[in-house]
Chain A
């Protein structure tokens, strides 16, 4: 394990008792978890290979309590890590030994559903799927649907700008929220946006979304609600190779069709899924593509015919169109089971999350294969093919000496490859600690310094979730320095202007 985190500060560890006493003055005794066994439950998120025992776990129930805790943390110079359901795959909620872990699980209420304005105000600890459940009786839903949607919470979705399988058509979290209430380090409570569209000045709500808990703690979210499409139909398309599948995906979009869902799986994943829980995927296919078309029935039928024709022209060996809702769900069942299925052939896997320009997919897969062979490991692939988001699942065996390290090295090589072809390190899982040390592959020092200056505008002491996202921490005073000579021109008026 190669992760280096900021060293615990002795001055903070020495004041633990004082911190506990002051937290107990803010919260009911049961909401301050100091006992080691109970704290163990919080030692990691879904990136289980990294663990740390938090100094203390605080579970506030009101915004006033969050504010008081953040004011206390600022005053005592104690670090603070926010956590929702702990489903982060990038270590965003990895605790710090000298930090408070701020659990938002008690913020679990839907405060208001406003159908006329097509929005709902919810607390950050509400599960993603619970929002859709609460409004489905009226025919509405909340669009972003990350795979972890039965567990993950909306506050974490905002932190990671969570996506899902429908984002090509319906957008990510950032496109589906209208307002936030946030608390800054020091305890200030701010409201950004509301039930109206568009921010009045700087779009700080947009900035907060995907900021991985480094800028502020989200205490309320106003989400947009969408009306469920009248009809959704699925197509299951089989191709001899991943290349052919990728070409078909490109051809669908080139024809002006934006499907509600557009997913691809390779042969390794198909095999794993079929042995885990058979759902009728063709085992001899090199790749399968699932297309979901939704909307008015007349339009869906029209598009289904169009996509079927494109698929045949691109060499599909099999095209199935769902004839019932049950069949459509069956097409998806395998895709939704892909992660647990792959873990059965693993025994362990590391889930990567690069995004690439879709057209580079065949090339990236060939080279990924080569990289896997070089590291002596196997990779199974699932893709959000519509938006170029790859989830290579690196198979390894944690009980084997050196396997974890090999898997991590292969993962890093795969992400470097994504960046090299014009893509990015992470599409929807976040940088966290997992990809922190690869940020230099995408950004130079100047880019990263500018991002950290934004951090300084929110949290000048670097107390909120430090050690995540940025490979090196710079003091804000140092980042703020300007080297401009007063009155003297470093660049005399140039003839070209």
Chain B
């Protein structure tokens, strides 16, 4: 069954009706992330697709407000006209999860805290949500935050709803910080360093003053990639200075210019180097110095790694492994627990996503607090029941 509310009041009515019947709702924009998270029955879908449209855009104020069901591509096109962008580069899950490309809604982007390769420099989705309106799992319409950059009036619930996978509230409207697009970009490529040295070069660059905005390493090509953005004159100078700064590594260098560079980072943003082919896909977040250690230990544990690459200067590892009933979760989680960080199972069959924890298990005190926070918004577990955790 599919409910398609026309406005926020309809959403509240739908959630109250669901509460009365104890009939849990799955929340959907265009459904591009339906195969993400723990597998649930999805018997009743609350579609926010009709809540679409940009209601405020003031380029000079760097702010945009859009209803939750607004297609991301519409927002991107509108910003593009003014030379602006969502600096956190929301990834497109289509290559990973299937479905049509470029079919996300802004509500879904916020719900999964989707962020791309510019993470170190520009932040994640959570750093760009200034305020929102929603209907909680209690069926109440609530607003939080505002439309200004600086705001400590009340708790920062924007952080809480970003990445909550719809388990706290159905977002109805989001207000975002937008930023100017860079005039141009270039990518410095360092080849043939090997994995450990290639990653060390990324970390060295991340501590340099050349304002590198993305840092990735692709082991299949044995290639470290560093993105520089800004006015032409600045990019060219910084590129040469950065190449000289990293000269001590003795790598063969190469450059990708403007459109080529953009295409390169879009491919990495959407995890394409691991997306194609059979297997389960993991996304692992660690301290940058632990990325290599993680992959090494996983290999030593005998895990069948089919493809992988590093982003965020080694702090983000994308991996595809041969399919197995436990998705290799015990091996991955044991290493992540020892190093500090978290691992998320991004792609696997529904059966696997029922049995395996898709999200990193938490220590008991933190798990208990997480549950109390869930209950503060949705005491009957009416929204996305079971999507994050089996127990709620």
Contacts and interface: CB of A to CB of B under 8 A. Distances in A.
A243 B374 CA distance: 46
A184 B97 CA distance: 39
B144 A426 contact: no
- Central interface residue in A115, A200, A212, by most chain B CB within 10 Å: A200
Nearest to B206: A118
Looking at chain A's contact residues, is the secondary structure mostly helix, strand, loop, or mixed?
Answer: loop
Contacts of A455: 155
Interface string B237-253: 11001000000000000
Interface string B64-89: 00000000000000000001100000
Interface in B102-155: 113, 115, 119-120, 123-124, 126-127, 136, 138-144, 146-155
A117 B140 CA distance: 42
Interface stretch (A190-198, A234-242, A324-332, A369-377): A190-198
A482 B150 contact: no
A471 to B, nearest CB: 11
Nearest to A168: B149
Interface string B145-175: 0111111111111111011100010000000
Best-buried of B120, B136, B151, B315 by chain A (most CB within 10 Å): B151
A488 B286 CA distance: 48
A195 B156 contact: no
B354 interface: no
A254 interface: yes
Contact of B154 (A184, A299, A469, A497): A469
B243 to A, nearest CB: 14
Contacts of A171: 123, 127
Interface string A439-453: 100110011101101
Interface string A166-200: 01100110110000000010001111101111111
Interface stretch (B4-12, B216-224, B262-270, B319-327): B4-12
Interface string A336-380: 000000000000000000011111000000000000000000000
Nearest to B232: A302
Interface string B358-373: 0110110110011011
B342 to A, nearest CB: 4
B152 A202 contact: no
Chain B interface size, as a band, is 35 or more
B17 A357 contact: no
Contact of A454 (B60, B113, B157): B157
Contact of A426 (B153, B155, B375): B153
A203 B163 contact: yes
Given A206-B160, A494-B13, A423 B148 contact: yes
A424 B157 contact: no
A210 B369 CA distance: 18
- Which of A426, A448, A485 has the largest number of chain B CB atoms within 10 A? A426
A229 interface: yes
A484 B16 contact: yes
A201 B359 contact: yes
Contact of A427 (B6, B148, B370): B148
A101 to B, nearest CB: 22
Contacts of A431: 152-154
Nearest to B285: A196
Contacts of B31: none
B272 interface: no
Interface string B12-24: 0110110111000
Interface string B170-182: 0000000001110
A211 B144 CA distance: 14
Contacts of B168: 202
Interface string A414-434: 000000001111111111000
Contact of A428 (B13, B127, B147, B152): B152
Given A228-B209, A450-B377, A451-B154, A256 B83 contact: yes
A161 interface: yes
Contacts of B83: 256
A425 B234 CA distance: 39
B179 A497 contact: no
Contact of A298 (B142, B153, B233, B288): B233
Contact of B341 (A196, A358, A388): A196
Contact of A443 (B3, B143, B288, B315): B143
B55 interface: no
B99 interface: no
B260 interface: no
A197 B153 contact: no
A263 interface: no
B203 A116 contact: yes
A384 interface: yes
5 contacts: A167-B149, A197-B124, A204-B160, A207-B155, A422-B147
Closest 9 pairs (CB-CB, A-B): A206-B159, A299-B234, A256-B180, A200-B342, A195-B287, A427-B150, A457-B372, A453-B376, A387-B149
Interface of A: 114-118, 139-140, 160-161, 163, 167-168, 171-172, 174-175, 184, 188-192, 194-207, 209-212, 215, 227-230, 250-251, 253-254, 256-258, 295-299, 302-303, 355-359, 384, 387-389, 422-431, 435, 439, 442-443, 446-448, 450-451, 453-458, 469, 480, 482, 484-494, 496-497
Given A422-B146, A484-B19, 10 more contacts: A196-B287, A200-B344, A206-B162, A355-B149, A355-B150, A388-B61, A388-B149, A389-B148, A451-B155, A458-B369
